[in-house]
Amino acid sequence: MEKSSLLSRVLKSVFFRSAGGRAYRTAKNSRSILKLVQDALQKSGGLSGANAGLRAQLSLLTRLLKAYASGEYREIPWKTLLRMLAVLIYFVSPLDFIPDLLPVIGLTDDIALLVWLFSSVKDDLEKFAQWESRKDIIPIG
């Protein structure tokens, strides 16, 4: 199954639609966002080797969501926030289009969805990374 076909099927699946509905409820609750971030980081430990770039992007995404949940960073469009949350909800769910319980191929749909997400919210992630780097600079004088 080619990557774009897989992604298209995942995005149209009942599993992703369900994650989208849950994303709306999650976005309204800081504790739910933080719990989702924790679960995503825990699961991302299974991404290794060639997926190191994905882990780095996921780390940036989770820092953005933590800053959003704390109220520190709110410069993110609502639609983008919902997309991020829906993908993470799908990512942490063991039962999805290709169940994670299946050895080797179980993460294929999750990885395709993460790659799509990072590509589609690239500008927002870069904007956050710039904000994050400026935040750590203490003005002199």
Q: What is the pLDDT of residues 81-96, one digit of tens each?
A: 999 999 999 999 887 7
Please tell me which residue, 67 or 51, carries the higher pLDDT value.
67
Q: Is the dihedral of CA 104, 48, 83, 88 positive or negative?
A: positive
**Interatomic CA distance for residues 64 and 62, integer angstroms:** 5
Mean pLDDT, residues 23-46 taken together: 92
Please tell me which residue, 99 or 31, carries the higher pLDDT value.
31
Structure tokens at 16: 């992703």
Answer yes or no: is pLDDT of 100 > 80: no
Mean pLDDT, residues 72-87 taken together: 96
pTM: 0.88
**Interatomic CA distance for residues 63 and 109, integer angstroms:** 23
Contact 67, 60 (CB under 8 A): no
Is residue 48 very low, low, confident or very high in pLDDT (cuts 50, 70, 90)? Answer: low
